[in-house]
Amino acid sequence: MEDTPHQPIAPKTLDELQSLVRENTAIHPTAAFEIPHSKFKIQNSRISLAAFNNIVEYQPEEYTITVEAGALVSDIQAILAEKNQYLPFDPPFAQNGATIGSMIANGYSGPGAYRYGILRDFILGVSFVDGLGDLIKTGGKVVKNAAGFDIPKLMVGSCGSLGVITEATFKIFPKSPATRSIVFKFSSFSESHAALLKLGRSHFTPDSIELNTGGHLFIRLTGQAASMDQRVQALESLLGERPETQSEADAFDSWDSSVNLRDFPATGILVKIATTPTGIASLNNAIAPHSANLRYSIGGFATWIHWDNDISDLSEILQTLNLSAQVVQGDTPSRIIGITHQQPFYQRVKQALDPEGKFSDPYRRTEPRQVRGHDRFSLPRQ
Amino acid sequence: MTSFIEKLRQIYPPERLYEDEARLIPYVSDGLTAFREKPAAVVMPLNSEEIVETLKLCHEHQVPFVARGSGTSLSGGSLPISEGIVISLNRLNSILEIDPDNRTARVQPGVINAHLSAAGAPHGLYFAPDPSSQSVCTIGGNLAFNSGGAHCLKYGMTSNHILGITAALPDGEVVQLGNDSLENAGPDCVGLFVGSEGLFGVALEIQLRLLPIPETYRTMLASYDSLEAAGDAVAAVVASGILPGAMEIMDKLAIEAAEAAVNAGYPQDAEALLIIELDGEASAVDAEFEALTASIEKTNAKEVRIAQDNDERLLIWKGRKSAFSAVGRLSPDYLVQDGVVPRSKLGEALKEISRLGAEAGLRVANVFHAGDGNLHPLILFDGNEAGALECAEELAGKILRYCLKLGGSITGEHGVGVEKLSFMPEMFSEADLNAFKRIRKAIDPHEISNRGKMLPGKEAPALSHSGPHPLEKAGIISRM
């Protein structure tokens, strides 16, 4: 098993993984950070969980699925689709090869999270190897469970900094019989933003809402086919604008492009900002002079930004606006930028689960410690 | 302790610092009345500063504290500690902000669950988690125990509706977790804090998600000849792609009790009753209702009724939500558990509960959240009969173990509290529990915050479900 700079070590069993964690000083799981084959690929990964790619348990009638962390999100989506089920939070980058582990560690949720919640609302259980090399199983495999600390949620967005995630259980939903995608094409961002707020104050319950900076408001409705025409008409009368109804093929392409940020440039830094529907107006103004790509997802509660400039400039802008953000792709000194008020609490939890600091800290403005020589690895070499 | 109490007196005037027996009595137990313990004192802070000062004092003197709201915990989550104090949060009951554009609210921990929904109503918003005690329980308690309710199937538990928390950790350090967005940046520390059963300190301010009040509801009652048939109906509905707001089942004994208590108009000849509620936009619900009716028609229901107006709907829910207290009419005492089983194993679990009940010679009423496999067996007994409580507890323990055997959980929404401590090692490994304890110690080095709850340890011997509690044997606590 070689430890070359771009060739991660791939343990084949939990025992091997636990030994690796116990006997090394710096651990960097690729399934936690890296989207394989991604245009945003980063280079400093060390452990691959490629061997952990099984479905552990899937009984469609339970509406839960337990999978290993190295499994591809796209494979899981395909298996669920066969049974007319899905992950309602629309995980981004599935088509780029995102794994279940990277999805959890980066906290990937897409536009569909608007209706029923983001990834953290669908994760029921997590197994992980902590900084001591212990295998910890938390949460459960049933849809409701209040026993023990909710570590599964803590792992969402943890950037692999609290342990190597090996397995997770998710709540899944039945697919609705019908969907309808419509686009309101306003002439400016401020008009589409006003429409978003109006929609937020109504009783309408779209499945997904997205905005681009050009005044387009994308809405996806799900439910029974018989209700669609009426629901679209009701939205039209609420917003006083006739929407464009997308064909099935156009809708698929449009949402796929949106979920996977296909129109973003291939190089640079990708950041997810936790925003609010009202707050995105100020963010839009603040970013405008920097000519960065922006996409307002989850009805304005998440903003994706592609940043080609100094990351500290973006961090300063976010601090001014009292916003926190997470770098999900690209090499930056720290992964959490903008407001970092969670840090003192996080450090206590980090100390408990990773007392020797083997996993890199997303708040620290330092490079993760690198394992230099492969002689420190105890696994048998292949 | 004397110098500690003296310092407390510097923070609180006598009318907000209870030390005499008469004023301590209301705090000796919570919703789990089987256990009682008298705290050394009760304080009633009016603001965050007083809470922080109190925690710093507790930390300095290593005096344990229990922060509580209305004390409706069904797992003994707010049972006091004799050498500790109770921090009563009921006076921190302000709704600080409702933001209709972002559909959020910021509240203090003592706000009553139903009051929040009432405050949201003028804006067309409500707070989705609806535990049966919602007219009295507080948001702080809901947060600490990740409370559920009848509508978890579609909308999730309390945790899914908390966006941000300003909390005082047990040493008095004030931290901010999360934000006012649905999305996070970095680890979901809010998710960890919610449901931590008070072990991480006191939530001072809570940022919540509100949902639009559904334009319409359709509530259906279907009666069946057996619990299994009702369970099969639930599976058929879910398989049809419909996601109802709630799906609840009550058995014959629970129906009788609810009927006697509130006259909900439930069919009296049914062995099982299924309540299904759809909610949402009117046109969407109309179409879903047709699909639901088609599904239910295939399930051999004895009778199907639809609530004709909001009053009928509320009456159906009144019956369901009063079922716990109504069981008091059937028996002088009862125990309630909230184990969870995989949905497809509901029938098997109910059969075993019935067998175990017969074996123990005890009646068991069942009310449960069928959509998410969350059981609520109500074990009826007469506490005046020698050994009856022990017998009921033993049965409850057997039921929880059976839930674990089926791959479920010991608690869906009531929490571990003191009641289920002894089952934690059966659900989690030593390594899992050690990780929990390390986290707890990192946040609360003296283990003063709600000591003796959730994590079995030397400071709180595990409850024994086949005899007196170890603390009872030691004469430290007693049962009503």
Q: Which of B90, B110, B144 is the last residue of a domain?
A: B90
Q: Closest partner residue to B191 among A120, A275, A362, by Cβ?
A: A120
Contact call for residues B148 and B413 (beta carbons, < 8 A): yes
Ranges A161-165, A378-382, B453-457: which has the least confidence: A378-382
Cβ contact B424–A148 (<8 Å): yes
Based on the fold, state whether residues B124 and B193 are members of the same structural domain.
Answer: yes
Q: Tell me the pLDDT tens digit for each residue of A283-312.
A: 999 999 998 999 999 999 999 999 989 999
Based on the fold, state whether residues B43 and B120 are members of the same structural domain.
Answer: no
DSSP secondary structure letters along B24-86: HGGGS--S-TT-B---SEEE--SSHHHHHHHHHHHHHHT--EEEESS---SSSTT---TTSEE
pLDDT cut 90: percent of chain A above it: 68
Contact call for residues B170 and B58 (beta carbons, < 8 A): yes
Cβ contact B242–A142 (<8 Å): no
Can you say whether residue A330 is alpha, beta or left, with left for phi > 0 and alpha for psi between -120 and 50 degrees? left
Q: Which residue of A has its CA nearest to B343?
A: A62
Contact call for residues A36 and A144 (beta carbons, < 8 A): no
Q: Closest partner residue to B435 among A121, A130, A301, by Cβ?
A: A130
B245: which chain A residues are within 8 Å (Cβ-Cβ)? none
3-state secondary structure of B416: coil
Q: Tell me the pLDDT tens digit for each residue of B278-306.
A: 999 888 899 899 999 999 999 989 999 99
Cβ contact A324–B182 (<8 Å): no
Cβ contact A348–B442 (<8 Å): yes
Q: How far is the alpha carbon of A365 from chain B, nearest alpha carbon, in Å?
A: 14
Q: Tell me the pLDDT tens digit for each residue of A171-207.
A: 999 888 899 999 999 999 999 999 999 999 998 989 9
Which residues of chain A form CATH 3.30.70.240?
178-259
**Residue range(s) defining the domain that contains residue B70:** 2-90
Based on the fold, state whether residues B285 and B182 are members of the same structural domain.
Answer: no
Q: What is the mean pLDDT of residues A232-259?
A: 94
The CATH class of the A14-174 domain is: alpha beta
Based on the fold, state whether residues B281 and B192 are members of the same structural domain.
Answer: no
Q: Which of B180, B212, B244 is the last residue of a domain?
A: B212
Q: Tell me the pLDDT tens digit for each residue of B306-333.
A: 999 999 999 998 888 888 778 878 888 8
Instruction: Tell me what pLDDT residue A4 has.
Output: 46
Q: Tell me the pLDDT tens digit for each residue of A114-141.
A: 988 999 999 999 999 999 999 999 999 9
Mean of the per-residue pLDDT values for chain B?
Answer: 90
Which residues of chain A form CATH 3.30.465.10?
14-174
Number of domains comprising chain B: 3
The CATH class of the A178-259 domain is: alpha beta
Q: Is the pLDDT reported for residue A55 higher than 70?
A: yes
Q: Which of B161, B178, B212 is the last residue of a domain?
A: B212
d(CA B9, CA A371): 56
d(CA A112, CA A102): 19
Mutate to test the interface with A, among B154, B157, B184 (most CBs of A within 10 A): B184
DSSP secondary structure letters along A253-309: HHHHHHHTTTTS-SSSEEEEEE--TTTHHHHHHHHGGG--EEEEEGGGTEEEEEE-S
Instruction: Tell me what pLDDT residue B239 has.
Output: 77
Based on the fold, state whether residues B145 and B43 are members of the same structural domain.
Answer: no
> What is the CATH classification number for the domain harbouring B76?
3.30.43.10
Instruction: Tell me what pLDDT residue A365 has.
Output: 62
pLDDT cut 90: percent of chain B above it: 69
Q: Which residue of A has its CA nearest to B209?
A: A117
- Residue A30 pLDDT grade (very low, low, confident, very high; cuts 50, 70, 90): low
Contact call for residues B414 and B376 (beta carbons, < 8 A): no
A274: which chain B residues are within 8 Å (Cβ-Cβ)? 179, 181, 183-185
Based on the fold, state whether residues B112 and B204 are members of the same structural domain.
Answer: yes
Q: Closest partner residue to A204 among B157, B241, B281, by Cβ?
A: B281
Q: Is the pLDDT reported for residue A246 higher than 70?
A: yes
Q: Closest partner residue to A145 among B184, B412, B443, by Cβ?
A: B412
Structural domain includes residue B475: no
Contact call for residues B245 and B317 (beta carbons, < 8 A): no
d(CA B426, CA B410): 9
Mutate to test the interface with B, among A203, A222, A340 (most CBs of B within 10 A): A203
d(CA B104, CA B209): 5
Q: Is the pLDDT reported for residue A375 higher than 60?
A: no
Mutate to test the interface with B, among A156, A304, A342, A353 (most CBs of B within 10 A): A342
Q: Closest partner residue to B439 among A134, A197, A349, by Cβ?
A: A349
Instruction: Tell me what pLDDT residue B150 has.
Output: 82
Based on the fold, state whether residues B82 and B136 are members of the same structural domain.
Answer: no
Q: Decide if B175 touches A, using CB distance below 8 A.
A: yes
Based on the fold, state whether residues B84 and B144 are members of the same structural domain.
Answer: no
Based on the fold, state whether residues B187 and B224 are members of the same structural domain.
Answer: no
A323: which chain B residues are within 8 Å (Cβ-Cβ)? 179
Cβ contact A226–B287 (<8 Å): yes
Based on the fold, state whether residues B178 and B225 are members of the same structural domain.
Answer: no
Cβ contact B372–A204 (<8 Å): no
Cβ contact A147–B100 (<8 Å): no
Q: Decide if B162 touches A, using CB distance below 8 A.
A: no
- Residue A370 pLDDT grade (very low, low, confident, very high; cuts 50, 70, 90): very low
Q: Closest partner residue to A142 among B281, B373, B438, by Cβ?
A: B373
Q: Decide if B176 touches A, using CB distance below 8 A.
A: yes
B195: which chain A residues are within 8 Å (Cβ-Cβ)? 146, 149-150
Based on the fold, state whether residues B197 and B235 are members of the same structural domain.
Answer: no
Mutate to test the interface with A, among B98, B151, B175, B182 (most CBs of A within 10 A): B182
> What is the CATH classification number for the domain harbouring B123?
3.30.465.10
When computed from its CA atoms, the radius of gyration of chain B, rounded to whole angstroms, is 22
Q: Which residue of A has its CA nearest to B417?
A: A147
Structural domain includes residue B461: no
Q: Closest partner residue to B183 among A227, A298, A353, by Cβ?
A: A298
Q: Decide if B123 touches A, using CB distance below 8 A.
A: yes
Structural domain includes residue B275: yes
Structural domain includes residue B408: no
Q: Which residue of B has its CA nearest to A83?
A: B239
For chains A and B, CB pairs below 8 A equal 300
Cβ contact B186–A157 (<8 Å): yes
B279: which chain A residues are within 8 Å (Cβ-Cβ)? none
Cβ contact A344–B212 (<8 Å): no
Name the nearest CA neighbour of A90 among A70, A64, A108: A108
User: Which residue numbers in chain B have pLDDT < 50?
Assistant: 460-480
Q: How far is the alpha carbon of A36 from chain B, nearest alpha carbon, in Å?
A: 21
Q: Decide if B241 touches A, using CB distance below 8 A.
A: yes
As given in the structure block, the two tokens for residue A359 are: 């996993």
Instruction: Tell me what pLDDT residue A154 has.
Output: 98
Based on the fold, state whether residues B37 and B72 are members of the same structural domain.
Answer: yes
**In B115-257, where do the E strands start and end?**
125-126, 162-168, 174-178, 202-209, 211-212, 216-224, 246-251
* A269-338: CATH number: 3.30.70
Q: Closest partner residue to B195 among A146, A223, A224, by Cβ?
A: A146
Q: Decide if B291 touches A, using CB distance below 8 A.
A: yes
| 327-346 in chain B: CB under 8 A from chain A | 340-344
Instruction: Tell me what pLDDT residue A38 has.
Output: 41
Torsion of CA B21, B24, B25, B30, to 10 degrees: -160
Contact call for residues A91 and A73 (beta carbons, < 8 A): yes
Q: Could you give the ipTM of this predicted complex?
A: 0.92
